[in-house]
Amino acid sequence: MSKINLKLRRNFIVSLFLLGTILNLMYLLTDNPPKCFLCIKNSNQEKNLLTEQKQLITNKILFWEEFLSVNKTYIPGLIRLSNLYIKNNEYEKAKEILNKVISISPNSAEGKSLLGAITSR
């Protein structure tokens, strides 16, 4: 290899080393470290997946609310709805539903255990 090619190769390697050092320092010294393209892509995919999951939970909540507006004392449906509220971080709504379950069926072990789990939060 010619001296020019060796010099260019050495400069390139040194530049990569310096860039890596700078990125590491930025990562250590800042609250918002730089992200690589793949990290951003994966992060966007995770956000899209979470949005889809949240929408699915919302759709299920709407279904059970409508179903239970007609079948007000259907215990399995009320428990499913309370579980969906819990997944959606709507604990007060879940408590209301579980209190309704216990008022309809005082011996409902599942209703009592879910209510106890929410109350202890």
The rounded distance, in Å, linking the Cα atoms of 93 and 84 is: 10
**CB-count exposure of residue 63 (10 Å: 0-12, 13-18, 19+):** middle
Among residues 51, 55, 100, 62, the alpha carbon closest in space to that of 79 is found at 100
pLDDT at 27: 59
Q: Which of 28-32, 50-54, 103-107 has the lowest mean pLDDT?
A: 28-32
Q: Is pLDDT above 80 for 37?
A: no
Across 27-31, 47-51, 75-79, the highest mean pLDDT is recorded for 75-79
The more confidently predicted of residues 5 and 89 is: 89
In the 8-state DSSP scheme, what is residue 71? Answer: S
**pTM assigned to the model:** 0.62
List, as one string, the DSSP characters of 22-51. HHHHHHHH-SS----HHHHHHHHHHHHHHH
Residue 60 is which amino acid?
K
pLDDT at 38: 53
Over residues 67-76, the mean pLDDT reads 94
N-terminal to C-terminal alpha carbon distance within the chain: 69
The more confidently predicted of residues 16 and 27 is: 16
The more confidently predicted of residues 18 and 103 is: 103
